[in-house]
A and B are shown apart, each in its own frame.
Chain A
Amino acid sequence: MSLALVFAIAGLVGFGVHLITARSLSRIVLGFALLGHAAVLALLASGGPAGDPPLADRATSAEMANPLPQALALTAIVISFGLTLFLLALARRQHELTGDDLVEDDLEDRAVSALADAEAAETP
């Protein structure tokens, strides 16, 4: 691990979270993609310093990068890929139904909130 990787991960998480606080679903997709990159890099960084590719016939185990986090990171890449595409499909569907891809407030939650406000108004 190096400070450069810490910097990259922190940057990706920061901009990722910033993006998923948006109302536009396509921005949220971007945010998730950035967070996915950050997760993969974090897995990789926790495995130790950089090294040669973990191929038994081309490198010695002393110079090799830790292969274990790479195997985990592969899964992470694939899953975040599936998630990103699914979110994109959702955004497209949202656009077809509403003409836009904005995430509206949850109406049920609003109703609960209004109920509590009404109750508060009743009891002095």
Chain B
Amino acid sequence: MPFVILFVHAAAAIAAVVTANRSRVTAVVAAALAPATAAVWGFTALLDPDTARAASFTWVEGLQLGFDFELSPIAALLTFAIGVIGTLIVIYAHGYFGTPEPTLGRFLATLTIFGGSMLGLVWADSVWTLFLFWEATSVTSFLLVGHKHAGSGARTAARRALMITGAGGLILLAGMMVLIDATGTHLLSEMEAVTGTTATVAAVLLVVAAATKSALVPFHVWLPGAMAAPTPVSAYLHSATMVKAGVVLVAIVSPILGGTDAFTYLAVGLGAATMFWGAIGALRQRDAKLILAWGTVSQLGFLVLLFGVGSAKATFAGVAVLAAHAVFKAGLFMIVGEVDIRTGTRDITELGGLHRSMPVAAVVATLCGLSMAGVPPLVGFPAKEAAVEAALGLAGTERLIISAAVIAGSVLTVAYTAHFLLGVFGPNTAGPNAANVDTPVRPRRMAMTAPAALLATASVLGWLFDGTASKPITRAAAALNPKADVYELINWPGATTAFFVSAGIVAVGAALGVARSRMLLDVPRTIGANAADGLLDETLVIARRITARGQHGSLPVYVVTMAFVIAAASLIFVRPAVDSVGELPLADSPGQLALAIATVLAAWGCTRVDSRIGAALALGVVGLAVTGLFVVQGAPDLVLTQLLVETVIVVGFVIGLGRLRRSFPVTGARWQQIRALVAGLCAAGVAAALIAAEGAASSATAPPTERLVTEAVEEGGGNNIVNVILTDVRALDTLGEIVVLAVAALGVIALGRPALMTAKTPISPPTREEVRA
């Protein structure tokens, strides 16, 4: 089934591109169908959790190459969320983009492929599959963020996102390799909990990789920039998908690496820091979309913190907040997009009185916002409540630190929620035109309002039917931490400590938010993002300088550089070569020694002779001497071939170079000649060392001559063993060799023809008069 769904995504992407310009509705339906199939499959998995759902395709057995998918409980939950939200996003995008929109096909196709990649990521059981789809989401999200590529802002933001998440992908790969080393398997479902140095290294790498994807401090700078994307992208990427990939990674490796201190400290530390910094960032913004973006950063920190703590209750709370966040954040982004489209601005200092002019949006946003703040009657409340209980349920110093972080972070969350809701929908109290004038709005688009309203309704229903909603969450949490199967969402806990703490959080946060919304702060400068961009630019400049030094266009310098690099890399062979030289005989026969000396002398002659024909003759002498070596070695076939080849080459030299000046042009200063000499010496040394080292290795084993002889005679039906090998054993290689010769011959013919193309006057067919004459 996973393969079918991925195939549906690919097909839908193609269909969307093909049909978008002719029939917009067809393209939208095609693009919506793909996530809908995923949603249905995810839903059946939630209804029937006991059936194992896995699929794999093995390409190369021993290399673990292939795809391995398994629908774990948390993957089932996410599949459902990704599918449902994905479908709603496509419908929303239909309303968001005006008509006509020439880029809609490309947009829908990229969005669909992104959705498919995200599904592959959450289903992945093999770490290689996980890595593949992780990278696929990085690349497709780059395309989505840079969708409006005509603007330089979008391009910069897309590049920043790609560089940070792409670097994270490499770190992930490294982490996964260390993890395989530590656990001994590449299947996540078969990994046991590990500790020790290897596990610590894996934990650090994997948490950092998750931090880049999930925009944790200090890698968060790409996420606010990604708001340059069209709002449907933001609503999809920053609710159920993309940024959740990092959280999911932390969640699925938490049972494996949770025992290492590095994992806990790093995840909790980064999580807490991100939670604060994101919330503070949200409070400083005036752009409604950026408030949500920074709020998302904060929520991601909260999630990683919960999974990092790793207790049963915290894991349960993490899964609950993960699900609740997907629902309310998608709804909130959708509302921001609607406000943007209908008023033409997202700056809260310019918005006023929208609660009168956009009542439906106001109600939807309030519901989603209250879910984010953790206020009943919305599903965010029991999720947040579980988190507070988890923090209070710890012991000792851990209890103090985690509780403080969760409570303070939650207060700030309530504060920026209030800041957002009052800023967008409340009266305009802080802006330069704070005259309480209502912003004019355009008519409502149903395709935009309806998906957001559905998500808000889902948040309410999740609170009302807390028992039903908590089943898949409990199951997913129990898969990560078996002790978590006793917990469930409770919509009205009564007078518990956690309840009073929650009430206090909401009260303080709301007061803070109201106070903030009455202040007019300067738009914060994007220091972090600028630093990241500056680093990138500087890297590119350095890269260009290195290219200019290393690749300056001179062929001789390239050859010399390569010779030196190979010489340096071959230094390790010097030692075994020196050892083996003592074992080798001086020569197999006196003739071999004489011919070897003749070969080298003739080769030296090639370099010394100034006349071209002389050099060609010297080459002929080298060829003859080498032929002699073949005779001594006992290779008659080589002798015949070499003689033939040598004759043709000498003829070729005469024909090819006959018209050139007699002697070689004198080029190069003295230092260049010395450079070439040194390169030649290095190359000679390397060759000697490699061959001698190889000689020591090969003389240890006797060649399988006897078997070759019997098989050549009996199966090949020939006495000349070399010929049998060429025609029977290496028949395909020999065919390739003939093809190479044919291609070379064609090239020679083409190059050797009279230079028609270079004639100064264009050659025209002869005129009638000329033909008659």
Contact = CB atoms under 8 A, between A and B. Distances in A.
Nearest to B727: A71
A6 B205 CA distance: 48
A6 B681 contact: no
Given A16-B683, A18-B677, A23-B668, A5 B592 contact: yes
B589 A97 contact: no
A52 B634 CA distance: 5
B771 to A, nearest CB: 29
Contacts of B398: none
B665 A46 contact: no
Interface stretch (B69-77, B96-104, B714-722): B714-722
Contacts of B737: 75, 78-79
Interface string B591-634: 01101110110011011000010011001001100100110111
B584 interface: yes
Interface in A1-42: 1-24, 26-27, 30, 33-34, 37-38, 40-42
B695 A19 contact: no
B636 interface: yes
Contact of B687 (A38, A65, A116): A38
A117 to B, nearest CB: 6
B581 A50 contact: no
B548 A113 contact: yes
Given A82-B744, A83-B744, A92 B688 contact: no
A17 B668 CA distance: 16
B345 to A, nearest CB: 38
Contact of B695 (A8, A46, A74, A113): A46
Contact of A113 (B551, B604, B729, B751): B551
A44 B660 contact: no
A109 B592 CA distance: 46
A115 B699 CA distance: 54
B752 A92 contact: yes
A95 B734 contact: no
Contacts of A77: 638, 641-642, 645
B698 A48 contact: yes
Contacts of B553: 105-110, 113
Nearest to A117: B548
Residue among A6, A19, A109 with most chain B CB within 10 A: A6
Given A3-B584, A47-B698, A86 B747 contact: yes
B528 interface: no
Given A84-B652, A85-B744, A116-B547, A6 B691 contact: yes
B606 A15 contact: yes
Contact of B751 (A4, A8, A49, A93): A93
A42 B642 CA distance: 15
Contacts of B691: 1, 5-6, 9-10, 42, 45-46
Interface in B544-565: 544-545, 547-549, 551-556, 559-560, 563
A7 B600 contact: yes
A44 B545 CA distance: 44
A119 B679 CA distance: 33
A85 B744 CA distance: 8
Given A4-B596, A9-B687, A15-B604, 9 more contacts: A6-B581, A15-B680, A21-B676, A22-B668, A44-B633, A46-B695, A67-B708, A82-B740, A89-B747
